[in-house]
């Protein structure tokens, strides 16, 4: 799930060890105009989209395609729909192919093995119109809508629905795949709270992974497929519990206080990784499986900026990766571990657009 405009807002990590890095001997810093000087782990940044809100861009298994969601009105959509493109250089007038139905609202798309089919969440069965965007919560707090019309679908690159993978009442979305392409992790309201579930890619063999009160979402598998990383708001005090449950009854979540957790795929060994405060989210495993990259505004006093950070699985070694003054998020490594794709407001001329960028990863 993602938010638009003010706070753009989930994954699978079938990555091999990062066995090679870009050749830095011929690196031309003056040509790397989309990179800030302090960004030592990313180089040769290229912009792939231009204008509107484009986010949650994820590599295909072959590292040659990305799939993402956009609300770009120039592409004929009124709210988020799913698109894909190859990772070669793009011009500002390039229009990618829409591969969702063009109806309802979509979220969280992810390629299946072979990169010819994909899964995504959509509300189109509930209503072909774009659902209403909620107003801010109590005291003007920013909120995410949990549209009960979301279900998870499998489709091909012509936009044809192949299968409907969920049919429970309420929210089912945020689907990503295991490294072997056999399992899907997703977030569901089917128990009355937002919990993580795993199912086979045909929608069968559904099993619940988390069960503690709070929003658990945006989950991704570790490179070896044995663990999940996810974002969570875990209310503890009576006041926090009341606030969370009251908003949830309205189909809302307030995402301003989230930390990162890791759990085994059988639901055991749940542990909290970050304790930074504010919003820590959009986590993804580093190719070595021992670190995470994620987005956070924990160093911000008024909500922004969000930047990408890296941290060890034991919660040590926090390191800032990007240094934008507004928003960087949704990092994903390529399967060969040499590149990273992310969404950012950088160098957008102040028009608040969020675009997709790809860069070489440098250890």
Residue 12 pLDDT level (bands cut at 50, 70, 90):
very low
Q: What is the mean pLDDT of the chain?
A: 92
Of 329, 134, 141, 174, nearest to 244 (Cα)? 141
Residue 10 pLDDT level (bands cut at 50, 70, 90):
very low
Residue 298 token pair: 């924990």
Residue with structure tokens 């790809």?
358
Residue 265, by phi and psi: left (phi above 0), alpha (psi -120 to 50) or beta? alpha
pLDDT value at residue 43: 97
Mean pLDDT, residues 291-320 taken together: 95
Is 291:273 a contact under the CB 8 Å cutoff? no
pLDDT value at residue 285: 98
pLDDT value at residue 127: 97
Residue 361 token pair: 């990863």
Q: Which residues pair with 361 in a beta bridge?
A: 42
Residue with structure tokens 């989230």?
258
Which distant-in-sequence residues (6+ apart) come within 8 Å of 283 by Cβ?
A: 218, 220, 229, 230, 231, 260, 292, 293, 294
pLDDT in tens, 206-262: 999 999 999 999 999 999 999 999 999 999 999 999 999 999 999 999 999 999 999
Residue 53 DSSP code: B
Residue 294 DSSP code: E
pLDDT in tens, 159-177: 999 999 999 999 999 999 9
pLDDT in tens, 319-345: 999 999 999 999 999 999 999 999 999
Report how far apart, in Å, the C-alpha atoms of 15 and of each of 60, 258, 284, 309 are.
12, 26, 11, 19
Which distant-in-sequence residues (6+ apart) come within 8 Å of 292 by Cβ?
A: 229, 260, 273, 283, 284, 285, 286, 310, 311, 313
Is 199:152 a contact under the CB 8 Å cutoff? no
Set out the domains of the chain in order of their start, with CATH numbers. 53-291 (2.120.10.30)
DSSP 100-130: S-SSS-EEEEEEPTTSSEEEEEE-TTT-SSP
pLDDT value at residue 301: 83
Residue 22 pLDDT level (bands cut at 50, 70, 90):
low
pLDDT value at residue 352: 87
The b/e string for 333-363 (b: 16+ C-beta within 10 A; e otherwise) is bbbbbbbbbbbbbbebeeeebbbbbbbbbbe
Mean pLDDT, residues 14-19 taken together: 33
Which is more confidently placed, 223 or 6? 223
3-state secondary structure of 10: coil
pLDDT in tens, 40-99: 999 999 999 999 999 999 999 999 999 999 999 999 999 999 999 999 989 999 999 999
Mean pLDDT, residues 121-134 taken together: 96
Residue 301 DSSP code: S
- pLDDT over 50 at 6, yes or no: no
Which is more confidently placed, 196 or 23? 196
pLDDT value at residue 21: 59
Mean pLDDT, residues 16-44 taken together: 78
Of 253, 251, 327, nearest to 296 (Cα)? 327
pLDDT value at residue 142: 86
- pLDDT over 70 at 20, yes or no: no
The b/e string for 52-91 (b: 16+ C-beta within 10 A; e otherwise) is bbbbbbbbbbebebbbbbbbbeebebebbbbbbbebeebe
pLDDT value at residue 233: 95
User: How many CA atoms, within 13 angstroms, populate the side-chain half-sphere of residue 57?
Assistant: 32
- pLDDT over 70 at 3, yes or no: no
Say if pTM beats, i.e. exceeds, 0.85.
yes
Residue 281 token pair: 């989210």
């Amino acid at each position: 799930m993602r938010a638009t405009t003010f706070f753009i807002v989930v994954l699978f990590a079938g990555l091999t060890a990062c066995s090679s890095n870009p050749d830095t001997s011929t690196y031309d810093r003056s040509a790397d105009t989309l990179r800030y000087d302090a960004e030592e782990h990313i180089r040769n940044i290229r912009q792939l989209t231009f204008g509107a809100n484009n986010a949650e861009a994820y590599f295909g298994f072959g590292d040659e395609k990305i799939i993402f969601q956009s609300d770009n009105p120039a592409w004929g959509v009124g709210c988020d729909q799913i698109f894909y493109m190859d990772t070669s250089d793009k011009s500002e007038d390039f229009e990618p192919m829409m591969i969702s139905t063009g109806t309802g609202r979509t979220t969280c798309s992810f390629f299946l093995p072979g990169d010819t089919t994909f899964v995504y969440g959509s509300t189109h069965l509930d209503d072909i119109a774009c659902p209403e965007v909620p107003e801010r919560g109590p005291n003007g707090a920013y909120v995410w809508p949990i549209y009960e019309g979301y279900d998870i679908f499998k489709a091909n690159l012509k936009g044809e629905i192949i299968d409907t993978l969920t049919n429970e009442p309420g929210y089912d979305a945020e689907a990503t795949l295991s490294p072997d392409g056999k399992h899907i992790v997703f977030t569901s309201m089917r128990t009355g709270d937002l919990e993580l579930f795993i199912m086979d890619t045909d929608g069968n063999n559904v099993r619940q992974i988390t069960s503690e009160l709070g929003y658990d979402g945006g989950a991704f598998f570790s490179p070896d497929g044995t663990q999940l990383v996810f974002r969570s708001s875990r209310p503890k005090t009576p006041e926090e519990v009341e606030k969370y449950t009251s908003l949830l009854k309205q189909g809302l979540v307030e995402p301003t206080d989230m930390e990162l957790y890791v759990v085994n795929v059988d639901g055991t060994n749940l542990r909290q990784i970050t304790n930074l405060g504010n919003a820590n989210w959009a986590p993804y495993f580093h190719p070595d499986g021992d670190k995470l990259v994620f987005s956070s505004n924990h160093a911000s006093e008024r909500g922004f900026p969000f930047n990408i950070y890296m941290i060890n699985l034991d919660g040590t070694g926090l390191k800032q990766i990007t240094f934008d003054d507004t928003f960087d998020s949704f990092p994903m490594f390529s399967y060969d571990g040499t590149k990273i794709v992310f969404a950012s407001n950088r160098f957008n001329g102040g028009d608040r657009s969020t675009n997709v960028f790809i860069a070489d990863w440098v250890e």
